[in-house]
Structure 1
Amino acid sequence: MSDDQLCGLAVVLDGSEHEVAAAHWAANWAEHSHHHLSLIEPSELVSAQTSSQRHRARRLAGELRCNHPGLTVDHRILDGGPDAVIRRVSPRCTAMAVSRPSGYRQATRRLAAPQCPLVVVTDEPTDTRTISLLVDPRQTGYAPTAFAFAYAASCGSDLHALLIGADSEQSPGEDVIGQLAVCYPSVALQTSALPSWGGVADEVAGSQLVVVGSWTDRQGRQRIDHGFLVAQAMADVDSPVALIAHEPAA
């Protein structure tokens, strides 16, 4: 299978300490959502590995197949580095999972903006039923909120929507939440506001998943100021973080 045939969930392996957690998280999600799973290694990293390291992806794939007998797992090596691979294959994936890079706490480190949900994983999530959704009150896009509601509904989870920097007036972000809440009556919704990104880490601690949107502007460019604030706020969050930097094709 070539990269232009991808249509399930993908994990970009990077040899980091968190890649196994990312792969297991993605396997659980793929099995639950009836997708196949692709373990992808960027060729730039493979060429720098020792002989023993080159077998780790195959061992991991075997472990996932053993733990998830009904799951289709394939392993492939694609040209380029991690960011290049994410950009190249994300349009053909339902979602992607990556391990949190070691430089994530540095203000200069940014993840590639994907065209599908990108879930950043550090450790196995805690056993909770709460999905946290971080909303820019000015956002008019549906993708982050729709993803959060759909994921919460599929997992039987609650949804806690946090509007960052909201004022007293009704905002487009709140309108989107209200419209989608009607479509997902089974999801228990709680909405609250925070004055800034400063208190986000405490509010989402222990979440099953944290969903964040508005990482790009309308031209597809990363909003440096917003991306910086999000990166800082998320640096101390151990829950998986889903970055939604796209809108579905019309």
Structure 2
Amino acid sequence: MSVSLLLVDDQPLVRAGLRMILESAPDLSVVGEASDAREASREARSLVPDVVLMDLMGGPAGTRAIRAVLEWARPLGHRVRVLALGPQDSEPLLHGALHAGASGFLFKDTPPEELVSAVRVVASGGAVLPPLVLHRLLDEVAPLLPSGEPAGRAPRDPLSVREREVLRLLARGWSNAEIAAHLFVGSTTVKSHVGSILTKLGLRDRVQAVIHAYETGLVRPGEGHANNR
């Protein structure tokens, strides 16, 4: 099933690069582009895309555009979802985007394959956040999460020792390459371990795996981030 996209960025070269990356996937189709918030709202109304990939544009204009697009689209039977893009230091803008209703956020230096995967996740109704951002958010909310198990009853752990270590590092915001270097194995091996973890625990994606790690106490708030190891 094809996913239609509207690209929103004030730089034509950036839009051209995004278009090239996204249209390399057979199930993704860029149906329009916009350079600012007002144009984004107008094009979204005209094209009704599945996903709006929107640069936060360095200020509240991006947040207002997200809210305008989603408020207009809400009465429609066809739901429009927004995936926001921003630089590494855009955490305040990220919070605004999430409050406005964005289904996900990615850093602008995200690898192409991860961008394509994120668009598919958002289009299917899921949510996407970089592991480091998710880790920071969970530091704030983890104490409020339920344990998931009655007191005095230890949950069964189907993971191997190595899989638990991979999950612990993943939950701290480490990338596959960083985990591979730390464990002295190949990135393909780490990817295989992650797939096995998701299968054994019945989880959909890395985000759910991180939440599981916090809920089960494998990782605790404040334990450390990828750049503090």
**Shorter-chain TM band:** 0.3 to 0.5
TM-score (ref. length: structure 2): 0.33
Which one has a larger percent strand, Structure 1 or Structure 2? 1
Of structures 1 and 2, the one scoring higher in RCO (CA 8 A, sep 6+) is: 1
TM-score (ref. length: structure 1): 0.31
Q: Which has the larger radius of gyration?
A: 2
